[in-house]
């Protein structure tokens, strides 16, 4: 019964999420339907000459770098001397589960050792 209820809820959530439309989306029909409104004016942006000069310098430097690389003038960087850290690729949850498991095992061993059944009433 619980599986049926969960699957129905999941199906309803997926249907709702996938069949909805965006409230912010503009369709072409909504843009054309407003014929009585004046046409949207285009705004022209003034290009700053200092920015265009910087872009031109950047483009020239990149082209020079590519030409040098093709000519073989640029060598690859040497490998760093520092060794990368080795990771055991365990997630945080897995590490916590391992710690809790070890703690539970230690507590179980202590309880078993201190139990009166193994101590024969001592």
Q: What is the pLDDT of residue 20?
A: 67
Q: What is the pLDDT along the chain (122 residues), one digit of tens a residue?
A: 767 777 778 777 777 777 766 655 555 554 455 555 555 566 666 666 666 777 888 889 999 988 888 888 877 777 777 876 777 788 999 999 999 999 999 999 998 888 877 666 55
Q: What is the pTM of this model?
A: 0.30
Q: Is 19 left (phi over 0), alpha (psi -120 to 50) or beta?
A: alpha
Using CA atoms, how far apart are residues 9 and 2, in angstroms rounded to an integer? 11
Using CA atoms, how far apart are residues 11 and 3, in angstroms rounded to an integer? 12
Which residue, chain included where needed, has tokens 């060794």? 83
Instruction: Report whether 68 contacts 74 (CB < 8 A).
Output: yes
Q: What is the pLDDT of residue 46?
A: 66
Q: What is the pLDDT of residue 37?
A: 52
Virtual torsion, Cα 65, 70, 74, 79, nearest 10 deg: 110
């Amino acid at each position: 019964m619980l599986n049926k209820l969960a699957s129905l809820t999941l199906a309803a959530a997926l249907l709702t999420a996938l069949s909805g439309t965006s409230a912010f989306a503009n369709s072409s029909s909504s843009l054309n339907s407003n014929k009585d409104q004046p046409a949207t004016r285009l705004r022209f942006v003034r290009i700053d000459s200092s920015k265009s000069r910087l872009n031109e310098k950047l483009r020239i430097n990149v082209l020079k770098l590519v030409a040098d690389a093709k000519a073989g003038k640029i060598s690859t960087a040497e490998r760093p001397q520092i060794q990368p850290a080795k990771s055991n690729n365990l997630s945080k949850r897995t590490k916590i589960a391992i710690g809790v498991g070890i703690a539970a095992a230690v507590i179980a061993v202590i309880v078993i050792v201190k139990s009166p059944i193994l101590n024969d009433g001592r």
